[in-house]
Amino acid sequence: MKKIQYPESSTWTEILNRPTQTVSDIEATVKEIFSEVAKKGDAAVKKYTNLFDGMTLDTLQVSEAEYNSASVSKELADSIALAKRNIEKFHTAQKTETISIETMPGVQCWQEKRPIQKVGLYIPGGSAPLFSTILMLAVPAQLAGCKEIVLCSPPDKNGNIHPAILYTARLCGVSKIYKVGGIQAIAAMTFGTSTIPQVYKIFGPGNQFVTVAKQLATNYGVAIDMPAGPSELLVFGDDTANAAFVASDLLSQAEHGTDSQVILVTTSIKLLNEVESEVAAQLEQLPRKEIASEAIKNSKLLLVASEEIALQLINQYAPEHFIVVSKNEHFFIENIQNAGSVFIGNYTPESAGDYASGTNHTLPTNGYAKQYSGVNLDSFMKSMTFQKISKEGIKKIGTAIEIMAEAEGLQAHKNAVTLRLKKID
């Protein structure tokens, strides 16, 4: 990890640059695949599954036999069940009541929420089969009442979906599962094929290609949860932080992929040096050492002069995950503006949010925490407004509508009110 002491604010943008390709580097490939999937459907999906995953598939959908036979160890099943309960509790608590108000006598307005009917879940399944993401997406989708849930995940080298993914999907009531990953999966859910249904909104994290594909899907009338690309973590720690814990958290994100990024911001030179040593030592013990090592090359150890400067830098970076370990933690809790999810104290590892605490781990990356929320119950719903106006109400509000419509030069709008008022009179 590169150590930088007391960087000038003018250098922050360069220092905090993510190790990702630009959209222009990827967009041409994504557009080509989208175009072919739109025209050729399943044939194109199979072609690119063979090209990118090295797998020739006769059928894309997981069979009923595969679905029903998937199993995991009792220990893992119990752990998944615990996580599911906590995720259900937290997301159930996010339900809101209908909002209704009479804005003036005879003018009743209200807002109700309706589920998005058809949603697509993208579940990464390459070197790390992220069955936990199914809990994060399918649980709130079911709570919201989405009628059709489609799941796409890339096949392994044997043409199968990891059993933990199938088991978790079954536990969450998701039965439409397809052995498709990458750009072609996003394209298939965008346009629909003879096998894979078209959806209204696509959810789920992925690599840079998946992220750009999701963004392109919005050009074709499909919504997305957010631009969620390579994982990232920023830790702020002072002298109260445990260096071994901090290093383990940094490495937990570094092992996601070579294009992940982790950053330590600290006011303590002692902690900075200890974390550097701990990262080197712990890295040697990781099965995914090679991947994490590449990510560490993109990562930083930053020493700053004060917590106020640290906060400014953190808000500029807008991390996907933000861990704060400080004797002054309330300063950060109260003033952090841009972060996907915040983890507080020595005993709150980021991996708790990834799996089992109850919060959602599908979060905005690449600085999008400045304007996007992480996935929540409302992500699977849309708000609809209603209004009902009585004769009394239109008499009270009508003249104002007429005057405003005429001022905008919209005579038909004015007439729609004038006719009603004349009828009442």
Cβ pair 151, 134 in contact under 8 A: yes
Is there a binding annotation on residue 231?
yes
Cβ pair 373, 364 in contact under 8 A: yes
Is there a binding annotation on residue 408?
yes
As a whole number of angstroms, the distance between CA 124 and CA 226 comes to 16
Taking every pair of C-alpha atoms in the chain, what is the biggest distance, in angstroms?
85
Is there a binding annotation on residue 371?
no
Cβ pair 27, 35 in contact under 8 A: no
Is 320 one of the annotated active-site residues of the chain? yes
273: CB partners within 8 A, 6+ apart: none
Is 321 one of the annotated active-site residues of the chain? yes
Given 321, 329, 350, 361, the catalytic residue: 321
Given 320, 350, 361, 406, the catalytic residue: 320
State the sign of the Cα–Cα–Cα–Cα dihedral 157, 287, 233, 345: positive
Is there a binding annotation on residue 413?
yes
Is there a binding annotation on residue 253?
yes
Is there a binding annotation on residue 402?
no
And the tokens for 126?
A: 């390459």
Instruction: Summarize the annotated binding site for substrate as residue ranges.
Output: 231, 253, 256, 321, 354, 408, 413
Binding residues for NAD(+): 122, 184, 207
Please enumerate, by residue number, every residue annotated as part of a binding site for Zn(2+). 253, 256, 354, 413
User: Which residues carry a binding-site annotation?
Assistant: 122, 184, 207, 231, 253, 256, 321, 354, 408, 413
Write out the catalytic residue numbers. 320-321
